[in-house]
Copies of this chain bind each other. A is one copy, B any other.
């Protein structure tokens, strides 16, 4: 059977997360960064990341300024947004929440076999993404506990 590249997150939200992390670590209001540079640093095609950055800015996940000396950056309030919010802006709401088998009437009270198996783990995953802020992850990065691969 043919090879699939299935995944939990869309490419778009992966890229968005990388960009958001990068901006949280390396920018602030008076130290902005242009699309071109962001693109190079995080290793995502310029035209592609540009579109995502614009959407993220519109939804206040990051900040932006037009014109010369303009660019994107991460403000303190931006950094309080959660990881899940980043994902939702790009992938849309029900992404993570949808059931594994995607059956309408599958839930805690009426679980399909897979649901009862991995449902609890998935809930935990969602809770984590819901509670962790961009700032939380940036802290981990700053402490070199983790790395931002490019």
Contact = CB atoms under 8 A, between A and B. Distances in A.
Interface string A88-104: 01111011001011111
Q: Work out how many copies of this chain go into the complex.
A: 2
Contact of A55 (B1, B11, B116): B1
A65 interface: no
Nearest to A138: B113
Given A91-B4, A101-B18, A121 B128 contact: yes
Interface residues of A, number: 58
| 10 closest residue pairs by CB, A with B | A103-B149, A113-B137, A3-B92, A113-B146, A4-B91, A6-B95, A6-B10, A121-B125, A1-B55, A4-B92
